[in-house]
Chain A
Amino acid sequence: MSDLKSQIIAQLNLQDTKPEDIGDDQPLFVDGLGLDSIDALELIVLLQQQYKIKLSNAEDGPKVFKTVRTMAEYIKAHQAQNA
């Protein structure tokens, strides 16, 4: 998950944030890290480019990107499928 955190920071230009600053179960959107809808789209790009996972239904976004942990779990589940 710390790799994922670094990737998130890079993809979203969170310049002043370090991986240690992001809790595994901290809400990424609304409160927490305060990400917005464009950030959500960039995370979709991240999934595609880094992990070759395609999230074609934007409505799944809130569930998948809720926390770093939910993202990591989603990646694990779908990488297994792709393999």
Chain B
Amino acid sequence: METENYITASCVISNHIVFKNGLPVFEENKADQSEFLIAAYRNFGLQYPKFFKMDNLSKLGWLANEILLQDSFDKEKYRPEEVGIVLSNANSSLDTDIRYYETTKTMASPALFVYTLPNIVIGEMSIRHGFKGENAFFISEGFDVAFIEQYVNNLFNNNILQCCICGWVEVLENNYNATLFLTEKDKSVNSFNFTKENLNKIYQLQNG
């Protein structure tokens, strides 16, 4: 059963700017990526001490997710198993792998090792909101909108999920980019059709 699915919200974090639904909502020119993420965290009044323990990939993805869902997501609509997450990037957890590897010279850091897998960011997002639906992390050279469209539509068409957070979360040294889409079966006031063209449009517009 093919359903029409919709992008009901989007969040992009790139080049020191945070966009929600296409509009810039926060900007701060910090040289250090970690400092920028913390500044954004404080700006949005988020209260989650575990944020500071996350690696940069998880901080970025988790933050983008918080902003994505803020005022756009009605948790009551879904059971935990009905909400899932599908993300992708090119460099896996490389940024943290390198940092972790540095620590093995003296004594390996357990806190860093925990983040040497790209899907941990999905774990953090799930823990925060109690999402228990299917989740996957794919590695690809660039943001493969056709693949994401097909994969997520399949999840909706087969009723594996009723709501999916999908997109691209990438960090390598000072290059970072998070582009997240909230996709649901029901339309909303400002929603777009969930198509690869729209995914691409939003991704390109805000990523210069």
Contact = CB atoms under 8 A, between A and B. Distances in A.
B114 A14 contact: no
A13 B38 contact: no
B109 A42 contact: yes
A38 B111 contact: yes
A16 interface: yes
A48 interface: yes
Contact of A42 (B38, B52, B106, B110): B110
B49 interface: yes
A82 interface: no
A13 B110 contact: no
Contacts of A15: 38, 49, 52
A52 B60 CA distance: 35
- Size category of the A interface is 10 to 19
A12 interface: yes
A42 B111 contact: yes
Contacts of A14: 49, 52
- For B106, B107, B111, the residue with the greatest tally of chain A CB atoms inside 10 Å of its CB is B111
A53 B49 CA distance: 28
Contact of B114 (A13, A16, A38, A49): A38
A12 B54 CA distance: 11
A15 B35 CA distance: 12
A49 B111 contact: no
Nearest to B103: A45
Given A12-B53, A13-B52, A14-B49, 7 more contacts: A38-B53, A38-B114, A42-B109, A42-B110, A45-B109, A48-B107, A49-B107
Closest 5 A-B residue pairs measured CB to CB? A41-B110, A15-B52, A13-B52, A13-B53, A42-B111
